[in-house]
Amino acid sequence: MNLNTNTNQVTSSIKPPKNSPGILTWLKRNMFNSWWNVLLSFISIFLLYQIVSGTANWVFITAEWDVISNNYRLFMVGQYERSELWRVWAGLGFISLLFGMSAGIWKGTPRILSGVLIFLYLVHIVVPFTSGTSKLWLLSTIALIIAGYIITPYLPKKKMIVIIGFCLAFPLIIFLLNGFGILPAVKSNVWGGLLFTVLLSAVAIIFSFPIGILLALGRTSKLPVIKYFCIGYIEVIRGIPLITVLFMAQILIPIFLPEGFEITNIIRVMIGCTLFTAAYMAENVRGGLQSIPNGQYEASKAIGLNSIHSMTFIIMPQALRAVIPAIVGQSISMFKDTSLVAIVGLFDILGIAQTVKSNPDYLGRHMEVYLFIALVYWVIAYAMAYSSRRLERSLGVGER
């Protein structure tokens, strides 16, 4: 009897949740609850209408987008030889296959990114200025994503295959683009557009990461020579603008090369961007190392790990996990900073834009050109930021 009475009392004390207010109630509470808010709300709505309507009118009616459609191949691959474009498509197909395989294994973020890739490929298929050959290649890349997604779960050691594939992707793409005497040579000075932008940022980010880790470890070393060399390098590079590093790379790197040995301007810029980004990566990693409590070092010693094993398996994974936002932020910054190479005479996507808008046939079309370039940068940068957030969530960064 008492049990029933207590149960009824508990049940009666639990009140049902209130329904969320409707849109009219919300507007009245937040936008029209006083004469001052009513005035501000109407002014804001008017200004927003003017901005949105004016922008939509310019984008869909006034703007002349033929400056983009007529030069689209130039924006994407620069002056890369048309007869050798199959190499670019082959590299893109290989990356698409890896994304499809990743989606089949890990689901989550790889699946979403694969869906975004398919959507972008479909958009390029639908637009009228894409050639018939390009549409066939785009259909092939979509088929590779779908095939990778379907077959991967049935492969043995599928995770190892995908990891090895991503490790081999970069050298394979460089081999395809250049040829290195096995395929017909395509000089790097014709690489341009989005192809060069993505390639340069990928080189700088991938190679600066291990260099940054070594510099961070060197800065915390107990050996004075290593410690102060790393400190000097990091502080000097971080105190110099990137454009200065690019000019120095163009001028100084050939001085240190053996007589008769030459490297192209693109390789020099890649070296400069890598060394510049490594200094910032080093500080990000050092911040992660400082966030690790001393108990982790003591615990690794207590279980018998030496310094190398302790740093490799205990300390560094935790440090990198803690600074994922900073590392991805630096990667996004490096991707956007590649636009500075236009100043040293290289034609990334912004350099191509400068050339196109200078064409007498397209005078006065700079707004269309720059809006297109901004959209390209935003899509790629947002994809990187979104992947970072998903990775943080999966690793529980910021959670106890």
Question: What mean pLDDT is predicted for residues 33-55?
Answer: 89
pLDDT at 131 over 80: yes
Note the pLDDT of residue 251.
85
- Cα-to-chain-centroid distance, residue 287: 22
Q: Give me the CATH code for the 64-80+193-395 domain, please.
A: 1.10.3720.10
Dihedral pair phi/psi, residue 219, rounded to 5°: -65, -25
The answer to whether residue 260 scores a pLDDT higher than 80 is no
Q: What angle do CA 126, 127, 133 make, to 5 degrees?
A: 80
- What pLDDT does 166 receive? 92
Identify the pLDDT of residue 33: 81
List the one residue out of 296, 327, 323, 330 whose CA is nearest residue 311. 296
* pLDDT exceeds cutoff 50 at 1: no
Q: Say what the pLDDT of residue 12 is.
A: 47
Phi, psi of 261 (to 5 degrees): -100, 125
Q: What is the mean pLDDT of the chain?
A: 87
Q: What is the predicted pLDDT for the residue at 399?
A: 59
pLDDT-derived band of residue 51, with 50, 70 and 90 as boundaries? very high
Q: Are 257 and 191 in contact (CB under 8 A)?
A: no
**3-state secondary structure at position 107:** coil
Dihedral-angle region of residue 184 (phi above 0 means left; psi in -120 to 50 means alpha; beta otherwise): beta
Q: How confident is the model at residue 181 (pLDDT cuts 50, 70, 90)?
A: confident
Q: What's the CA gap between 309 and 305, in Å, rounded?
A: 6
Mean pLDDT for the stretch of residues 260-280: 89
Q: What is the pLDDT of residue 102?
A: 93
Angle at 205 between CA 171 and CA 339, to 5 degrees: 105
In the prediction, which pLDDT does 142 show? Answer: 95
* Range 252-256 average pLDDT: 82
For the chain, what percent of residues have pLDDT higher than 70?
94
Find, among 172, 283, 304, 171, the residue nearest to 235 by Cα. 283
Determine the distance from the C-alpha atom of residue 41 to the mean position of all C-alpha atoms in its chain, rounded to a whole number. Answer: 38
- Average the pLDDT over 228-251 and give the result: 92
Answer yes or no: is pLDDT of 252 > 90. Answer: no
Q: How many CB atoms lie within 10 A of CB 189?
A: 14
Query: Greater confidence, 263 or 77?
Result: 77
Q: Start-end ranges of CATH 1.10.3720.10 in the chain?
A: 64-80+193-395
| 358: β partners | none
pLDDT of residue 7: 47
Rounded to two decimals, what is the model's pTM? 0.84
Note the pLDDT of residue 178: 87
Please give the pLDDT value at position 179.
Answer: 86
Measure the CA–CA gap between 37 and 242, rounded to whole angstroms: 47
Of 234, 232, 382, 396, nearest to 318 (Cα)? 396
pLDDT of residue 327: 93
Task: With beta carbons less than 8 A apart as the criterion, state whether 77 and 349 touch.
Answer: no
Q: 104: buried, middle or exposed (CB in 10 Å: 19+, 13-18, 0-12)?
A: buried
Q: Other C-beta atoms within 10 Å of 96: how many?
A: 24
Cα 36 from chain centroid (whole Å): 44
* Model confidence at 356: pLDDT above 70: yes
The answer to whether residue 325 scores a pLDDT higher than 50 is yes
Torsion of CA 252, 258, 259, 265, to 10 degrees: -40
Q: Residue 398's pLDDT is what?
A: 59
Across residues 94-108, what is the average pLDDT?
A: 92
Q: Please give the average per-residue pLDDT across 141-145, as a whole number.
A: 95
pLDDT at 18 over 60: no
